[in-house]
Amino acid sequence: MDGIKASGIRVVIAENTRMASRLLADALSQNSALEAVVAASSATESLQAISEIHPAVALVSDTLDDDPKRGFELAREIRATWPEVQVVMLLDGCKPEPVVEAFRAGARGVFSRNESFKELAACIARVSRGEIWARSEHMAFAIEALASAPASTEVDSEALLTLSKREREVVDALAEGLSNREIGERMDLSRHTVKNYVCRIFEKLGVSTRFELMVALTRRQATTYRKLADEAGPSDLLPALLAAAEAGVASAQFVVGHMYLYGEGVRRDKVLAYKWLLLAEQADEAFSDASRRARKKLGTELLSVQVTEAERMVSQWVGNAEIPSLSREPGSVGTAKAATGVA
């Protein structure tokens, strides 16, 4: 292992070869926001480095030990042993299967090697704060997996009833995208206690990662709201998602925004896509980064009058709160807060 000192975030890099790992570590070590960048070239070496320096972020290649799936296995091991360590998966491209597998393995970020070191540094910084880093196409893959997830991933009422009041509070915090540290600060618990709660919750609900928990809770919420949709068939998720989005469920708002953006299951409508992405951005920090980037890109494709109309709909939805216009201030974030349910 090779350690390089600067000042700030601690990072462990797990690449398939020592040269690739050292080159990436050398490049990242130039960023003053990083305190330690440790290069490892095997799963065993990576786990040792994590146990020694307790990093905020682990950058994990999908291929490790010459095994194209070992990186995903390592990500699961990291999340199970050190849930406070945020994982970013390093992928060669942007294909659906590895992207979805990365989220299922517990990754908080997905990063393609053809992107810049500057973007990677930004990714590390945001993921270290508990945010999600993914491009719109990455989230589209996750959304498709969410919509087609088998019913067996749905959390039933009996399973939820087995949770204690404290465990339900932890579930709510997990759904908000909070890290174990943030949950501990909110609930006045140690990280070790939070870790134990999370492990028990995953076991009771039959999930193994936060991504699976979000999928399961969203599907359950959508199933509940399906009763409100008269035309919803047994296999028709769209009315349920729309009802959940209207009820303030941030994850459903995020999904619906992308459905309108790509015309998946609905008529493509960029104004409605902008509306729902902005609502999701305001409602839940877990979706804010990915939603904001998708919305900013979408804003460049819309006329100012269309952006204004989308913002008017959002303002009306949240009670006429003021939403700064993207056309007036690129990259601005509105101040309105949408009501949220379990995301």
Structure confidence by residue, pLDDT tens digits, 169-222: 888 777 666 778 888 898 999 988 988 898 888 888 877 776 667 666 655 554
Instruction: Give a yes or no: residue 174 inside a domain.
Output: no
Distance, in Å, from the CA atom of 89 to the CA atom of 71, rounded to the nearest integer, reads: 8
Helix then strand then coil, in percent of the chain rounded to 5, is 55, 10, 35
Tell me which residue has tokens 């199970």: 80
Instruction: Give a yes or no: residue 325 inside a domain.
Output: yes
Distance, in Å, from the CA atom of 277 to the CA atom of 123, rounded to the nearest integer, reads: 20
Instruction: Give a yes or no: residue 51 inside a domain.
Output: yes
Distance, in Å, from the CA atom of 156 to the CA atom of 69, rounded to the nearest integer, reads: 31
Average pLDDT over residues 324-343: 31
Question: Whole-structure pTM over 0.85, yes or no?
Answer: no
5 Cβ neighbours under 8 A, 6+ residues apart: 29, 35, 36
Least confident of 4-13, 159-168, 217-226: 217-226
Q: Residue 325's pLDDT band (boundaries 50, 70, 90)?
A: very low
Q: Reduce the DSSP state of residue 248 to 3 states and report it.
A: coil
* pLDDT above 60 (res 102): yes
| CATH number of the domain where residue 73 is located | 3.40.50.2300
**6, 130: one domain:** yes
CB burial of residue 266 (10 Å; 0-12, 13-18, 19+): middle
Residue type, 18: R
Distance, in Å, from the CA atom of 161 to the CA atom of 248, rounded to the nearest integer, reads: 23
CB 290 within 8 A of CB 139: yes
Sheet holding 86-91, edge to edge: 2-5, 34-40, 9-14, 57-61, 86-91, 109-112
The whole domain housing 111 covers: 2-134
Instruction: Give a yes or no: residue 141 inside a domain.
Output: no
**120, 10: one domain:** yes
Distance, in Å, from the CA atom of 85 to the CA atom of 108, rounded to the nearest integer, reads: 10
Instruction: Give a yes or no: residue 13 inside a domain.
Output: yes
Among candidate residues 109, 110, 106, the one with its CA nearest the CA of residue 80: 106
Choosing from 97, 117, 134, the residue where a domain stops is 134
Cβ–Cβ contacts within 10 Å for residue 319, how many? 10
Whole-number average pLDDT of the chain: 75
Instruction: Give a yes or no: residue 42 inside a domain.
Output: yes
258 Cβ neighbours under 8 A, 6+ residues apart: 136, 139, 140, 143, 264, 273, 277, 294
Choosing from 78, 100, 134, the residue where a domain stops is 134
* pLDDT above 60 (res 150): no
Domain count, the chain: 2
**128, 9: one domain:** yes
Instruction: Give a yes or no: residue 153 inside a domain.
Output: no
Least confident of 106-120, 153-167, 174-188: 153-167
Average pLDDT over residues 24-50: 84
Structure confidence at residue 156 (pLDDT):
56
Give the single-character DSSP code of 152: G
Tell me which residue has tokens 């960023």: 31
Structure confidence at residue 217 (pLDDT):
64
Instruction: For strands 57-61 and 9-14, give the pairing.
Output: parallel
CB 127 within 8 A of CB 89: no
CA torsion sign, 11 to 96 to 153 to 72? negative
Structure confidence at residue 218 (pLDDT):
56
Instruction: Give a yes or no: residue 142 inside a domain.
Output: no
**130, 8: one domain:** yes
Choosing from 134, 152, 168, the residue where a domain stops is 134
Least confident of 48-62, 169-183, 215-229, 235-249: 215-229
CB 145 within 8 A of CB 100: yes
Structure confidence at residue 161 (pLDDT):
73
Average pLDDT over residues 42-55: 90
Structure confidence at residue 60 (pLDDT):
94
β-strand partners of 36 = 5, 10
pLDDT in tens, 261-311: 877 667 888 899 899 888 888 876 656 666 777 788 888 888 888 888 888
